[in-house]
Amino acid sequence: MSNLTKFLTLAAVTLTVACGKTEEKAPNTVLLNNEPETKVYKEELASLLEKADPSKLEYYFDHYVQKDGIDYLYVNITGAVDAIAVVTVREWDEKLKELREFKGKGYGGSEFKNLKLEVERNSANTSFVYKGMDGIAD
- CATH assignment at residue 41: 2.40.50
| Among 8-17, 38-47, 88-97, the least confident range | 8-17
Q: Give 10's Cβ-side CA count (13 Å radius).
A: 7
> Structural domain of residue 114, as residue ranges?
26-137
Angle CA 131–68–49, to nearest 5: 35
Residue 4 placed within a domain: no
Q: Parallel, antiparallel, or unpaired for β 57-67 and 83-89?
A: unpaired
- The predicted pLDDT at position 100 comes to 93
Residue 11 placed within a domain: no
Residue 3 placed within a domain: no
Residue 71 placed within a domain: yes
Angle CA 135–138–52, to nearest 5: 60
pLDDT, tens digit, for every residue of 62-81? Answer: 999 999 999 999 999 999 99
Residue 35 placed within a domain: yes
Residue 20 placed within a domain: no
Q: Computed over its alpha carbons, how large is the radius of gyration of the chain?
A: 20
d(CA 71, CA 67): 7
pTM summary value: 0.80
Residue 7 placed within a domain: no
Q: 102 pLDDT band (50/70/90 cuts)?
A: very high
Residue 117 placed within a domain: yes
pLDDT, tens digit, for every residue of 103-120? Answer: 999 999 999 999 999 999
| Total domains present in the chain | 1
Q: 23 pLDDT band (50/70/90 cuts)?
A: low
